[in-house]
Structure 1
Amino acid sequence: MAPSRAILRCTRFVQLRSTPRLLSTACTTRSQHAPLAKRSSASSRSRLSHHPATVTRPYSQNATPLEPPDHLSEGELHVFRKIKAELDPVKLEVQDISGGCGSMYALEIESAKFNGLTVIKQHKLVNSILADEIKSWHGVQLRTRPT
């Protein structure tokens, strides 16, 4: 249900109550509220039975394997291939931000291997993969996200 419709339902229920309560406490669970649960239980069961618990959307899946862009320099391409081989990312962007000398890179990585890891552990994982390259760099900007 869209958030706007959920708010409308909750506000209708709050208006029917005799004692005033905060909107967030009145809308926490539907099972506590008989009029709302009775009215929507049959329709929600029929709607939920048609949809599986996990919905996969073909337009949000990465259908093609991740390929490096044509504009990458040799250093960027080396970093791209090394991260791609180790992390199998969904999204990977590598950019030399040192003006072309290869001493500083900006990396943006989105991978399933980051699931369940804190940001610090994600960065440590990337740093361990690129340990030899980072030794010769001046700095690195790193943005990581789990899928």
Structure 2
Amino acid sequence: MENTAVSEAALRASIVERLNAIHVDITDMSGGCGQAFSTLIVSPDFAGKNSLKRHRLVNSALKEEIAAIHA
């Protein structure tokens, strides 16, 4: 079985790069196995967007990571 865990550092790098984030807080909610994260993202890309549009933007930007987390 291959390891599909996503590291906090890799997730942070993807968020900063793909969402132009200026602040990112990540908490591994899975006890260190990389299968559940809570995030706080501040990005100018979110300006003028409601909560649903922000969530869709994040989900689109992190689709590969989300697939690995949910594998």
Q: Give the TM bin, normalised by the shorter chain.
A: 0.7 to 0.9
How does 1:44-83 map onto structure 2 within 5 Å?
A: 75-83=7-15
Q: For the pair shown, which has the larger CA radius of gyration, 1 or 2?
A: 1
CA offsets 1:21-59 (integer angstroms, 9 cap, x no match): xxxxxxxxxxxxxxxxxxxxxxxxxxxxxxxxxxxxxxx
Identity %: 35
How many residue pairs match? The answer is 65
Alpha-carbon distance in 2 for matches of 1:130, 1:104: 14
Report the TM-score when normalising by structure 2. Answer: 0.82
CA offsets 1:110-141 (integer angstroms, 9 cap, x no match): 11110111110101100111111111324xxx
Q: Which residue of 2 aligns with 1:95?
A: 27
Moved over 2 A (4+): none
1:129 aligns to 2:57 (yes or no): no
Q: Which gives a bigger RCO, structure 1 or 2 (Cα 8 Å, sep 6+)? A: 2
User: Gapped runs of 5+ residues in structure 2?
Assistant: 1-5
User: Gapped runs of 5+ residues in structure 1?
Assistant: 1-73, 139-147
Letter matched to residue 96 of structure 1: D
